[in-house]
Amino acid sequence: MSRRMQQPKEKLCLPNNTTLLENAARVLEKTVAGTVWVSRPYGAETANPCHVPDRVPQKGPLAGLREGLARTEKEALAVLAVDLPKVPPELFRQLWRAWQEHPDADLVYPVAQSVAQPLAAIWHRRALPVIAQALALNRVPRLMEVVARLSSHTVAVDPDWLVNVNTPKDLNDFLLGWKQ
């Protein structure tokens, strides 16, 4: 919903004239086989069949995760939030290798120092029931509460990769340090 940014994050432009959405899609397209789906907020209309609207209003990123996992025919889904503009394709190669070494994990995601980022991760379809239970609550479920209920494996990465732009100040700080 981009509430803290006060405008849709996916449409924000980087200095290389790509949007945050295009940046995320390019990272995934370079490293992941299959369709790249884009989750849209509840009620957002789109003509693109790869844009999947959330079916549950006001439930945050878990609603998008649920839609992607429910639609994929694959056993796992690579996920990348648009507000993580410094995630390189190499992250998904590392996550994939870790997932192959830990095939029973419901989720493989990066950590750097004290930052965990399950929105730049590989999620298994086995996570769907736990996500559905969280979405059925009468509150917005916390992503890390769901992660805690899953079998997961973490991969240590460069902290720079997990820079998150949630607010106008975050975006300004990111753009001031921009290096292509």
pLDDT tens string, the chain, 180 residues long: the values are: 566 676 777 788 888 888 888 888 889 888 887 766 666 565 566 666 666 666 666 677 888 888 889 888 889 999 999 899 999 999 999 999 999 999 999 999 999 998 999 999 999 999 999 999 999 887 778 899 999 999 999 999 999 999 998 888 888 888 888 765
State the pLDDT at residue 64: 85
| Whole-number pLDDT of residue 126 | 96
Q: In this predicted structure, what is the pLDDT of residue 123? A: 96
What single string gives the DSSP state of each residue in 28-55?
HHHH--SPPPEEE-TT---S-TTEEEPS
Task: Give the separation between CA 117 and CA 144, rounded to whole angstroms.
Answer: 9
Q: Could you give the CA distance from residue 110 to residue 95 in angstroms, rounded to a whole number?
A: 8
Structural domains of the chain sorted by starting position, each given as residue range(s) with its CATH number in brackets: 9-176 (3.90.550.10)
Give the Cα separation of 159 and 105 in Å (integer).
23
**What is the pLDDT at residue 117?**
97
Confidence at residue 1, expressed as pLDDT on a 0 to 100 scale: 56
Which sign, positive or negative, has the C-alpha torsion 90, 158, 61, 131?
A: positive
Specify the DSSP class assigned to residue 25.
H
Q: Residue 137, Cβ neighbours under 10 Å: how many?
A: 11
What is the pLDDT at residue 40?
59
Res 4: pLDDT: 67
pLDDT of 38 reads: 65
